[in-house]
Amino acid sequence: MASQRQTILVVDDERKLREMLRVYLEQEGYRVVEAPNGRDALFAARQERPDLVILDLMMPEMGGYDFLRAYAREGQAPVIMLTARIEDTDKILGLELGADDYVTKPFNVRELLARVRAVLRRLGKATAEQDVLRVADVVLDRTTAIVRVADREVELTRSEFELLAALMSSPRQVFSRLDLLERLPGNAYEGYERTIDVHIRNLRTKIEPDPRHPRYVETVYGMGYRFSDRPPAATEREG
């Protein structure tokens, strides 16, 4: 059962599916808000500030991808995608846009509930960690979800933010791809360790002065990634 009355926003154009999910989620102790499309979901998210969003990708008026693009600029709640598509590229696109996990339709309700609990549990652990991380000239603030690099504010997706937080939590420590997968909310990356490389590449594009020669997020070939705590002028340049 949910330890608190956490709010879950269910976004799907199928009314019967929304009603079914409401029944199961309320039985688990969650408060449920519904929206039939991405446009209404954005309005509901602003009003209700949900703890988690369950999002269908294929909807009229505003689909799931467009919702993710808009929500990434203003929302901090994790998102679990519901998708009838099976192509890896569709899943990866959703993850790159800020989703935290996915469930493929038709799905087992027990599996979805387990993923909801896992995402919220990991989110709870993250909020219990150090609120502000400062390494070199990068500052990450969990309370505001703001990242600054040399006093320049950088906008990250939730997945990029959590990856950076994991790396910055232990400077110089080498994290394997599997290590980083386990630090992310949900289980969306099972079997897709290489998507970590995609997120690292996107992260470098946003925080590195020269992404081709990373100053902060270093590659340790054959092992994984680490965050450098050395002063920028002394940092070894590597691709």
Q: Which residue has the higher pLDDT, 205 or 121?
A: 205
Q: Which residue has the higher pLDDT, 223 or 194?
A: 223
- For residue 26, is it within any domain? yes
Residue that terminates a domain, selected from 111, 127, 143: 127
Q: Which residue has the higher pLDDT, 228 or 188?
A: 228
pLDDT digits (tens, 9 = 90+) for 35-76: 999 999 999 998 888 989 999 988 888 888 899 888 877 766
Residue 134 has pLDDT above 70, yes or no: yes
pTM of the entire predicted model: 0.57
**Which amino acid, residue 99?**
A
pLDDT band at residue 164, thresholds of 50, 70 and 90? very high
Domain with residue 180: its CATH number is 1.10.10.10
Domain with residue 105: its CATH number is 3.40.50.2300
**Judgement on whether residues 152 and 181 belong to the same structural domain of the protein:** yes
Q: How far is CA 174 from CA 136, 159, 177, 182, 233, in A?
A: 17, 19, 10, 14, 21
Q: Give the number of domains in the chain.
A: 2
pLDDT of residue 94: 80
pLDDT digits (tens, 9 = 90+) for 182-222: 776 554 444 456 778 888 999 999 999 999 999 999 999 98
* Domain residue limits at 46: 7-127
Rounded-to-integer distance, Cα 49 and Cα 69, Å: 17
Q: What is the dihedral of CA 168, 173, 176, 179, to 10 degrees?
A: -60
Residue 10 has pLDDT above 90, yes or no: yes
